[in-house]
Structure 1
Amino acid sequence: MRGALLMMGSMVAFTVNDTCIKATHGMMPLLQVLTLRGAVSTLLLYLLALYLGAFRLRMNRHDAGLIGLRCLAEIVAAYFYLTALMNMPLANVTAVLQMLPLTMTLGAALVFGEYVGWRRLLAIGIGFVGMLLIVRPGPEGFSPDAGYALASVGCVTLRDLATRRMSPGVSSMTVTVLSALSVFVAAGLAAIWVDWAPMDRTSLALIGGSGVFVMLGYLLSVMVMRVGEVSFVSPFRYTGLLWALLLGWLVFGDWPQPLTLLGAAIIAAAGLFTLYRSRKLAEAGAEPGVALPAKIRRT
């Protein structure tokens, strides 16, 4: 239960971060936001990693290459996600992001050859139907903002697949700090050619609050892995969608349409079922990435 509470706390922190970033819309260019938020979050995450004694740069060439790939995916994902966040309701973007457990399962099967039974494949298909209810492509196809949200899901999936291939000895906090640093550096270089907007107390508070809540979200996530059983606490990630609904309504006056809510519910249900099946397979003595005996495979 402590792990579940920490997971819910981390979802609150990440959602408040998104709310702060979205509230800067119209105050300054996106690249300025990315640069300033990156500076704050990188510094705080680095201090957190030092405090935990988890910042270690020594690694082999294979892991260094994967971290490079992860950082590149993180940069592109941050740009796409924040672009969508600035122009779509908070709950809609958050709901699309809930596709991650499904895209990760599908990606692991396609890239790593991990076994995925027909039940989880069906859940993935149903989840994609829910996603279509949220983005609702019209006669001209997906809107650019919905396309950015979906592209961010693809980039985050690539990022997390690269992370899964790293050696167990690679510190997760080191990876997190380097990812934040890469976004900061990339945004800072790109922002050289952007006219920066003057900042007032409100914009400074929003940027500072965003950096603090990002750091808090990562801290709680690390604590979750230390005190909670992963298969039990993972479903509590979906509480982030509830906070996105609440904050989107209170702060921005946005409330999703019924079809959007239905799509979000379908995605959450499909993701929860996928996590449940993975846990059942693990309890049966076969991890999802291992070839299963015929008796288990039929289930």
Structure 2
Amino acid sequence: MAMSTSLRASLLMAASMAGFTFNDALIKSLGGAYGAGQVMLVRGAIMLLFLTVYIRVAGVPVPLKKAMTGAMALRTMGEGLGTVLFLYALFHMPFANVSAVLQALPLAVTLGAALFLRERVGIRRLSAIVVGFLGVLLIIRPGMEGFNIYALAVLGTVLFATMRDLATRRLPADVPSIVFSLLTTVAVSTMGAVMMFGGDGWRPMSLSAVMTLAGSATFLFMGYQCIILAMRIGEIATVAPFRYTGLLWAILLGIIFFGEIPDALTLLGGSIIVASGLYALYRERVVSRRAASANISAASPPPGRGT
């Protein structure tokens, strides 16, 4: 029996989250032995090799002039700064905690779209966003021992990732997505080189460390390609809930590889974030259906005047 398009898209989204989470786990396994700049540079160089080979084999056009817009500059800035803060948090916080806070990203993007892109967000979705951020507070626990500069770093990651995703909505639609991935990888790798030579310095890398970063780049490449395919062949409302499978992977990998068992507040906070995100997505789908029905009704001729 042939697999339905929706099922394939959902499985691709789940696979992309697995790819991203395994990438994070491999980076964390380095234990902070290398600076963030060195990690960004080496992993980025390997990613550039993958992307270049893919573009050449697939014959993807690369309209660099059309791709280099103000939105692309903002996207690159968000990706670069978010990566720096993410690595800083990842090396010092429990794996599942970092992942759980990042689940608030869809809620943050919805709020950002309302504030900066003037997209309409109703009171119910706003309420879901507020509840979701309460879940974040349960995880980072401001005013308690668990709250520190690393918790601020993961919050900064959400902020810059939100800027990246909002800028992505303003990218030229006729430029292949892989081109933006290529430009972003170049920019992030360059930022890593600047950080490394400007302060972090270069530390000799063992073969196992290089192979770890190669595996990280492989999973990251897989994640990017799967999420692009998922978003292109499936409806957003269908595939978006499968983003939250990343938290399940993070909890599992945290237990198996790092011996980190999330406490009750972390699990509760993560559950609240996921539930709030799913509800916000549900409300968005309801509003979209109502708008579509209203447009159809407005376009239909009054009774008795049709042909």
Paired residues of 1:15 and 1:244 also in contact (CA < 8 A): yes
Higher Rg: 2
Instruction: Answer with 52-61 or 214-223: which moved more.
Output: 52-61
SS of the counterpart of 1:56?
A: coil
Paired residues of 1:38 and 1:183 also in contact (CA < 8 A): yes
Number of equivalent positions: 288
Structure 2: which amino acid aligns with 1:255?
A: I
Corresponding position of 2:260: 254
TM-score by length of 1: 0.91
TM-score by length of 2: 0.88
Corresponding position of 1:207: 213
Paired residues of 1:44 and 1:215 also in contact (CA < 8 A): yes
Corresponding position of 2:244: 238
Match of 1:101 among 97, 106, 114: 106
Q: Does residue 171 of the first structure (1) align with residue 176 of the second (2)?
A: yes
Corresponding position of 2:201: 195
Structure 2: which amino acid aligns with 1:187?
A: G
Corresponding position of 1:129: 134
Corresponding position of 1:86: 91
Paired residues of 2:136 and 2:270 also in contact (CA < 8 A): yes
Q: Does residue 16 of the first structure (1) align with residue 22 of the second (2)?
A: yes
**Shift in Å, 1:73:** 1.4
**Shift in Å, 1:43:** 2.0
Paired residues of 1:42 and 1:184 also in contact (CA < 8 A): no
Call closer, same or farther: CA 1:82–1:253 in 2, change over 3 Å: same
Structure 1: which amino acid aligns with 2:23?
A: N
**Shift in Å, 1:71:** 0.8
**Shift in Å, 1:46:** 3.0
Corresponding position of 1:33: 39
Paired residues of 2:88 and 2:150 also in contact (CA < 8 A): yes
**Shift in Å, 1:173:** 1.3
Call closer, same or farther: CA 1:139–1:228 in 2, change over 3 Å: closer
SS of the counterpart of 1:138?
A: coil
Instruction: Answer with 128-137 or 186-195: which moved more.
Output: 186-195
**Shift in Å, 1:217:** 0.8
**Shift in Å, 1:30:** 2.0
Corresponding position of 1:186: 191
After superposition, what is the alpha-carbon deviation per residue over 1:33-80, rounded to whole angstroms, capped at 9, x for unaligned?
11111111122123223444444224558x611111111111100000
SS of the counterpart of 1:254?
A: coil
Call closer, same or farther: CA 1:59–1:251 in 2, change over 3 Å: same
Distance 2:169 2:276 in 1: 22
Distance 2:32 2:82 in 1: 21
After superposition, what is the alpha-carbon deviation per residue over 1:168-223, rounded to whole angstroms, capped at 9, x for unaligned?
21322111111111000111122114332222232112111011111111111122
Paired residues of 2:140 and 2:146 also in contact (CA < 8 A): no
Instruction: Answer with 45-54 or 157-166: which moved more.
Output: 45-54
Q: Runs (4+) of structure 1 moved beyond 4 Å? A: 58-61, 139-142
Instruction: Answer with 192-201 or 249-258: which moved more.
Output: 192-201
SS of the counterpart of 2:260?
A: coil
Q: Does residue 74 of the first structure (1) align with residue 94 of the second (2)?
A: no
Paired residues of 2:32 and 2:91 also in contact (CA < 8 A): no
Call closer, same or farther: CA 1:199–1:141 in 2, change over 3 Å: closer
Paired residues of 1:134 and 1:263 also in contact (CA < 8 A): yes
Paired residues of 1:80 and 1:149 also in contact (CA < 8 A): yes
After superposition, what is the alpha-carbon deviation per residue over 1:62-118, rounded to whole angstroms, capped at 9, x for unaligned?
x61111111111110000011101111111111111111101110010001111111
Aligned pairs for 1:256-275 within 5 A: 256-275=262-281
Match of 1:114 among 105, 112, 119: 119
Structure 2: which amino acid aligns with 1:198?
A: P
Paired residues of 2:104 and 2:273 also in contact (CA < 8 A): yes
Instruction: Answer with 161-170 or 94-103: which moved more.
Output: 161-170
Corresponding position of 2:153: 148
Corresponding position of 2:143: 138
Call closer, same or farther: CA 1:212–1:147 in 2, change over 3 Å: same
Paired residues of 1:27 and 1:203 also in contact (CA < 8 A): no
Distance 1:276 1:53 in 2: 38
**Shift in Å, 1:225:** 2.4
Paired residues of 2:26 and 2:212 also in contact (CA < 8 A): yes
Paired residues of 1:89 and 1:248 also in contact (CA < 8 A): yes
**Shift in Å, 1:259:** 0.3
